[in-house]
Amino acid sequence: MIQKKICLIGAFAVGKTSLVQRFVKSMFAEKYHTNIGVKIDKKIVTVGESEVTLVLWDLVGQDEFKAVEIGYLRGSAGYLLVADGTRRATLECAVDLHTRAQDAIGRVPFRLLVNKADLAPTWEVTDEDLIKIAERGWAVGRTSAKTGDHVESAFVSLTQEILQAK
């Protein structure tokens, strides 16, 4: 059985926990808190002919900077950087956290999720912002944990990339 750890990284209240909950829903395997302020969910996904157990690490509480602590990131096969489309500063935060994550664990597959797509009319993040980011070669998705839009595909695409990377 293949098992892969994926971390959620991003500023406070961008929707990290909501995305994980949307994704795992009823298919949840196990859930627990540890003394390092992390909630861990598991979900089995099928990619091609492979069954992969995703071990999803999500920070409990408000400290996004913990996200780049080595203890949180260690062993990650990949990570999801999450920003909130309604708050442009969270995009800058995601870019910064990415740099720090790479410094901590090196290059592993990641995707940027700009969340709260259901609130698109009120977004501060513009198409131009996202084009600039895509020009860096980043995979970018617009998600809504509220409607479920593009959530499953974001996790599955990251998993595919992780399987191809090894």
Binding residues for Mg ion, rule: CB under 5 A, are 16-17
Pick the closest to residue 108 from 40, 67, 165, 47 (CA basis): 165
Count residues contacting ligand GDP (CB under 6 A)? 15
Q: Residue type for 92, please?
A: E
Is residue 29 within 8 Å of 45, Cβ to Cβ? no
Of the candidates 28, 27, 110, the one whose C-alpha atom is nearest the C-alpha of residue 68 is 110
Q: Does 90 bind ligand GDP (CB under 6 A)?
A: no
**Residue 110 CB, nearest distance to Mg ion (Å)?**
18
Q: Is 119 in the site for ligand GDP (CB under 6 A)?
A: yes
Q: Is 15 in the site for ligand GDP (CB under 6 A)?
A: yes
Rg (CA), the chain: 15
Beta carbon of residue 103, minimum distance to ligand GDP (angstroms, whole number): 22
Residue 115 interacting entry, from Mg ion, ligand GDP, none, C-beta within 5 to 8 Å by type: ligand GDP
From the centroid of its chain, how far is CA 44? 16
Interaction of residue 142 with ligand GDP, rule CB under 6 A: no
105 makes contact, choosing from Mg ion, ligand GDP, none, with CB < 5 to 8 Å by partner type, with none
In contact, 111 and 80? CB cutoff 8 Å = yes
